[in-house]
Amino acid sequence: MIKSKVQKFVDGCVEAGIAQGLWSEKLRGKYSVEIPKHKGQGDFSTNFAMVAAGIEKRNPRELATQFIECAGSEGDLVERLEIAGPGFVNVFLNPSVWATVIEPICTQDTSFGPPPVNEKKRVLVEFVSANPTGPLSVGHGRNAILGDAIARLLESVGHDVHREYYFNDAGRQMRVLGQSTKARYCELLGKPADFPEDGYQGEYIYDIARSMVEESGDALCDGELDVFKKKAQEAIFADIDATLKRIDIRFDSYFNEHTLYETGQIEDVVKCLRSQGLVYEKDDATWFKTSELGLEQDRVIIKSSGEPTYRLPDIAYHREKFRRDFSWMINVFGSDHIATVPDVLAGVRALGYDDSLITVVLYQFVTLLRDGKQVKMSTRKATFVTVDELVDEVGGDALRFFFLMRKPDSQLEFDLDLAKKQNQENPVYYVQYAHARLCSIGREAMEQKIEHKDADLSLLTEPEEYALLKIMADYPQLVSGAAEDLAPHRIIFYLMELAGQFHSFYNKHKVLGDDAELCRARLSLCAAVKVVIRNGLNLLGIQAPERM
């Protein structure tokens, strides 16, 4: 909000210099305007003189002096300019400009946030995409919450976002699921059960089998495997759906791999690739010549059994995304899928599409700690902690907050014991508590019938007040940047800083004090802080409670 004004001001100085022939026009856009780290270095600073010095081969301080001369009469925005350090120009603003952030925040209220992007895109965010073989586990949880937060961020900057879940209910995994279920069913009936070597050992398989016994008795013992497969798949998918709803995650569409077979897409992709000489047969299998597309080795796309490998439907699926006219496709994958990415991108490229429109967000694994020890997890043995269990233990808000605290590239350590005792020290409460306090102040003001419309904001002169105003002024740009970089964790850190600054302010200064005018001004400030905290939390799908 304020920064863009300063940026314009600096740009103006640079242009004036160009007009006067002080430096070349090559300098346009080469410098930056930043918020200095330390006190005494102004509200903003620019490295213009240092950047210019490098290009023009001149002394930075001399350039800085000329820059300041170009500023001329500075208007209401800038109070003074200083040269510091190796050649920074520090910009000190007229303090009164900071309070101007309050009005737009309060007016825009729930819609206060980042400016819309210049180029609005039709974005497909594909996430979760777990096959229905069991309940969602911790890793899926990170995927779900990360994907949803990314989708929310992109929506907030004006993109047209579509959430999609891609899944497969056929193939080997599902066959094993059916066999596992049938074996448990027979076992429950006291009949010989043939539990598969690599079957799913989770308790949830018994639950499904038990419900089948209740429904059908022993009638299915000699029945088709498909019945078990279908039943298990439906039950598990219903569970996954329910889990996702619990943490408020919804999809616009589910894409079943099946449809790619039914509509002939799979065969068509092979045909297209083959026509370009990128497909050949060897050892009864069909190979994709990825080595000709810059990759290390060729890959099998159809096994000797006649069944495609995951690559083929994946390529077909991505072609469908392009055909559905998305201009940005985001995939949220666990880092164990990293090897699959280059093949699929190569396939998409070979089919004539621009694979730079696909962004793959790979997140690192979640390490779970219990009793200070790492929990070993195995999907098949079902020795994993489910998203449902996590929600039971820490709640949806804390779960989202924790999963979003780390950037995707970082491994995420989740200490269950810590999370459980975190009723007291959970950082999510720290931020939510600030909001609850603000609401409390608002309620009290209401009771005392104190209005804060048209308050004299020039009364906000305490350091804690300026600090709050400055942080809030940064919000729109922060969200824009976080959206652009698909980095929801920055919102978390921002909110912790804003909440912290508010708590400091709250402890040092009384809002509803004796001075009626000051009280009104501070109420305006608080109203704005409340809006920003609430909007920030909601942006991540976290509640902003009015009482705690």
Residues 327-356 that bind RNA (CB under 7 A): 335-340
Residue placing its CB nearer to RNA in the complex, 85 or 264: 85
Query: Mask: binding to RNA, 68-97, rule CB under 7 A, as x and -?
Result: ----------------xxxxx-x-------
Q: Output the CA torsion sign for 517, 519, 522, 523.
A: negative
Q: Is 181 in the site for RNA (CB under 7 A)?
A: no
The answer to whether the beta carbons of residues 38 and 49 sit under 8 Å apart is: no
Q: Considering only residues 108-127, where is the footprint of RNA by CB under 7 A?
A: none
Q: Is 59 in the site for RNA (CB under 7 A)?
A: no
Q: How far apart are CA 272 and CA 405, in angstroms?
A: 44
Q: What is the CA radius of gyration of the chain?
A: 29
Give the DSSP H/E element, type plus range, for residue 535.
Answer: helix 516-539
* Residue position matching structure tokens 């164990």: 336
Cross-strand pairs, 254? 165
CB of 228: closest distance to RNA in angstroms? 19
81, 91, 195, 225 from 87: Cα distances, Å? 12, 13, 74, 76
Q: Is 413 in the site for RNA (CB under 7 A)?
A: yes
**What's the order of all strands across the beta sheet hosting 285-288?**
279-282, 285-288, 299-302
Of 61, 79, 59, the residue nearest 9 (C-alpha):
79
CB of 366: closest distance to RNA in angstroms? 9
* Residue position matching structure tokens 């499904």: 208
Q: Is 180 in the site for RNA (CB under 7 A)?
A: no
Residue placing its CB nearer to RNA in the complex, 217 or 513: 513
CB of 512: closest distance to RNA in angstroms? 4
- Helices within 31-101 (DSSP H only): 48-56, 60-71
Q: Considering only residues 132-161, where is the footprint of RNA by CB under 7 A?
A: none
Q: Is 548 in the site for RNA (CB under 7 A)?
A: yes
DSSP, residue by residue, 329-359: EEEEEEGGGTTHHHHHHHHHHHTT--GGGEE
Q: Considering only residues 424-443, where is the footprint of RNA by CB under 7 A?
A: 424-425, 427, 429-430, 433, 436-437, 439-441
Residue placing its CB nearer to RNA in the complex, 41 or 181: 41
Residue placing its CB nearer to RNA in the complex, 195 or 310: 310
The answer to whether the beta carbons of residues 164 and 371 sit under 8 Å apart is: no
Query: Phi and psi (nearest 5°) for 125?
Result: -105, 115
Q: Considering only residues 34-53, where is the footprint of RNA by CB under 7 A?
A: 34-38, 40-42, 45, 47, 50-51, 53
Number of residues that bind RNA (CB under 7 A): 92
CB of 180: closest distance to RNA in angstroms? 15
Candidates 97-105, 153-161, 247-255, 307-315; binding stretch for RNA (CB under 7 A): 307-315
Select from 364, 379, 538, 543 the one that contacts RNA (CB under 7 A).
Answer: 364
Candidates 150-158, 410-418, 452-460, 536-544; binding stretch for RNA (CB under 7 A): 410-418
Q: How far apart are CA 24 and CA 546, in angstroms?
A: 55
The answer to whether the beta carbons of residues 83 and 89 sit under 8 Å apart is: yes
Give the DSSP H/E element, type plus range, for residue 80.
Answer: strand 78-84
CB of 517: closest distance to RNA in angstroms? 15
Question: Within the chain, how many helices (H) and strands (E) appear?
Answer: 19, 15
Q: How far apart are CA 147 and CA 149, in angstroms?
A: 5
Select from 193, 221, 285, 377 the one that contacts RNA (CB under 7 A).
Answer: 285
Q: Considering only residues 446-505, where is the footprint of RNA by CB under 7 A?
A: 478, 481, 487, 489-490, 493, 496, 500, 503-504
Residue placing its CB nearer to RNA in the complex, 21 or 40: 40
Q: How far apart are CA 123 and CA 524, in angstroms?
A: 37
Give the start-end residues of each E strand in 9-139.
Answer: 33-34, 44-46, 78-84, 88-93, 122-126
Residue placing its CB nearer to RNA in the complex, 207 or 336: 336
Q: Considering only residues 227-266, where is the footprint of RNA by CB under 7 A?
A: none
Q: How far apart are CA 335 and CA 329, in angstroms?
A: 18
Q: Considering only residues 10-39, where is the footprint of RNA by CB under 7 A?
A: 32, 34-38
Residue placing its CB nearer to RNA in the complex, 432 or 535: 432
Residue placing its CB nearer to RNA in the complex, 180 or 220: 180
Q: Is 508 in the site for RNA (CB under 7 A)?
A: yes
Cross-strand pairs, 334? 363
Residue placing its CB nearer to RNA in the complex, 88 or 322: 88
Residue placing its CB nearer to RNA in the complex, 188 or 405: 405
Candidates 95-103, 259-267, 324-332, 511-519; binding stretch for RNA (CB under 7 A): 511-519
